[in-house]
Amino acid sequence: MFFFFFDLDESTIIKKCMEVYFKDKMGTNGYCDVAELFSDNIRKNDIKSSFNIYSEELVKLYSHNYPKSSNDLHTVYKLYSNKINDYIDGQEAFAILFWCFKIFKSKMKFEKHTEKIMDCFIEYLHKELKEISYSRYNTVVYCTDKIEIHIIKNVSDLLTTLDDLPEQKDLYYRGHSKASYKLSPSILRNDNLVKNENHIYQELLINCPNDFKNATHHIDYLVKMQHYGLPTRLLDITKNPLVALYFSCCSNPKNSGEIIVFSPQKSSVKYENSDTVAMLSSLPLFSFEDQGELMDYLYIGKGNEEIVNRFIHEVKTEKPGFVNRIRNYDMDNCFVVLPKKDNNRIVKQDGAFIICGINYHPEKKINENLRLIHDNKMVLLLVTNKQKILEELDLLSINKSTLFPEIDSVSEYIKSKYND
């Protein structure tokens, strides 16, 4: 059986990590792509930086070579024998499982035995986590009570699926080339980044002042930074489903992509000159500690009032008529922002953004408040047959050169077109 090591002493900690990992993923999204546990593209350093490992046991675990036999798994048991009953979060559980499952690189390659391994996953979940009903498509495991799944194999599939949805007005989309990607702004995917948001923001302004000479609002600065790849609290979305389809297919050809469909309430859609956007886009001007003081003041009435006054002053620099009233709901929530169409890339991609407040795990907020729900289930569009879809989109003038109209992207597209 695939989970042969569950008969070993290590099984207790590994089973615990399986439970934590799946409950964390299912509780947040209702689905997960198990392929991330077997990825060859994730390095040890990626694990350490992305998941910000503080656990002494985990640091020691990753100082060892990956396991090649069941005997090597005793390392896990030795390190965690006294922590079986301690709290382990989803990130640490993932890191432990990722290390353990490297054993299959030598014993049973995931790519060659995907169906067998995935069947064993489902069998294990039905046996050990009975409170949730699971199913799967390829390597994506999902909760049948929470997720309405649609498989997209061509452009026609997407258009037919969207046409059949009951709510077709004011929809927004985002494409991921892997269904395992976090639905979270780049600055919030890494603890080190979010804790240094203010430094990241200020250093770019100091080093590239001329690039921001036309910026008049705080959101203008964030949009420009997002454009140049700096981590921000913005998440790119689009009004055009074909654009999202392109991004779900443009990389990672072996993985299932996904299109996320958003159907926000009118109150969750803001113009870039709104008070809410002015407040949330002002947050990078404050340190991680000051942002914490702000939330303490708002939620429990305790905190540094001077920081609150500074924050209000900052908002008023661009909105003099701003009323001195800050709502908790606005500060830790996520909203769709409709930007000015003064950026060629935004125009070509029919782009908009989601802006996130002081919420360091925004996936759940985005899922609950913005994603499309149909018959009490969250709609998930899984994308396969990527190369064929890219060819179809190219015929519709949806490609790298049209979506990224800068000369370097257009040049790269032209070169690839004649290089095959």
pLDDT tens-digit readout, 184-217: 999 998 888 899 999 999 999 999 999 999 898 9
Residue 348 has φ and ψ, to the nearest 5°, of -65, -35
> Which residue, 31, 257, 253, 6, is CA-closest to 120?
6
172 shares a domain with 139: no
Instruction: Provide the token pair at 308.
Output: 């609150």
> From the CB of residue 363, how many other CB atoms can be counted at a distance below 10 Å?
16
Q: How confident is the model at residue 85, as a pLDDT?
A: 83
- Determine how β-strand 257-262 pairs with β-strand 377-383: antiparallel
β partners of residue 57: none
181 shares a domain with 261: yes
Residues of the chain with pLDDT under 50: 1
Determine contact, residues 288/198, Cβ cutoff 8 Å. yes
**What gap in Å lies between CA 41 and CA 115, rounded to an integer?**
21
Residue 175 has φ and ψ, to the nearest 5°, of -105, 135
152 shares a domain with 124: no
**What gap in Å lies between CA 420 and CA 407, rounded to an integer?**
21
**What gap in Å lies between CA 314 and CA 290, rounded to an integer?**
13
Q: How confident is the model at residue 221, as a pLDDT?
A: 95
Three-class DSSP category at 131: coil
Question: What is the CB-side half-sphere exposure of residue 213 using CA atoms within 13 A?
Answer: 4
Q: How confident is the model at residue 6, as a pLDDT?
A: 56
Phi-psi label, residue 408: left if phi above 0, alpha if psi -120 to 50, beta otherwise: alpha
Q: How confident is the model at residue 5, as a pLDDT?
A: 52
Task: Among 90, 115, 143, identify where a domain stops.
Answer: 143
164 shares a domain with 57: no
Question: Which residues fall within 8 angstroms of residue 6, CB to CB, at 6 or more apart?
Answer: 14, 15
Say how far residue 315 (Cα) sits from the centre of its chain.
Answer: 28
> Which residue, 235, 266, 262, is CA-closest to 379?
262
Task: Among 94, 125, 143, identify where a domain stops.
Answer: 143
281 shares a domain with 375: yes
205 shares a domain with 117: no
Determine contact, residues 228/236, Cβ cutoff 8 Å. no
Residue numbers of the domain that contains 390: 147-417
2, 80, 139, 359 from 117: Cα distances, Å: 6, 26, 9, 36
Residue 176 has φ and ψ, to the nearest 5°, of -120, 135
Total of domains in the chain: 2
Task: Among 94, 117, 143, identify where a domain stops.
Answer: 143
Cα–Cα–Cα angle for 119, 36, 232, rounded to 5 degrees: 145
> Would you give the DSSP letter of residue 130?
T
**What gap in Å lies between CA 102 and CA 104, rounded to an integer?**
5
Q: How confident is the model at residue 33, as a pLDDT?
A: 94
- Helix axis angle for 305-318 and 288-300, nearest 10°, is 100
Q: What is the DSSP string of 256-298?
A: -EEEEEE---GGGEEETTSHHHHHHTTGGGS-HHHHHHHHHHH
Three-class DSSP category at 334: strand
- Determine how β-strand 377-383 pairs with β-strand 373-374: antiparallel
388 shares a domain with 269: yes
133 shares a domain with 248: no
97 shares a domain with 122: yes
301 shares a domain with 160: yes
Q: Which residue has the tokens 């500690």?
A: 289
155 shares a domain with 129: no
155 shares a domain with 137: no
Residue 254 has φ and ψ, to the nearest 5°, of -85, -10
Q: How confident is the model at residue 168, as a pLDDT?
A: 67
Three-class DSSP category at 85: coil
> From the CB of residue 342, how many other CB atoms can be counted at a distance below 10 Å?
10
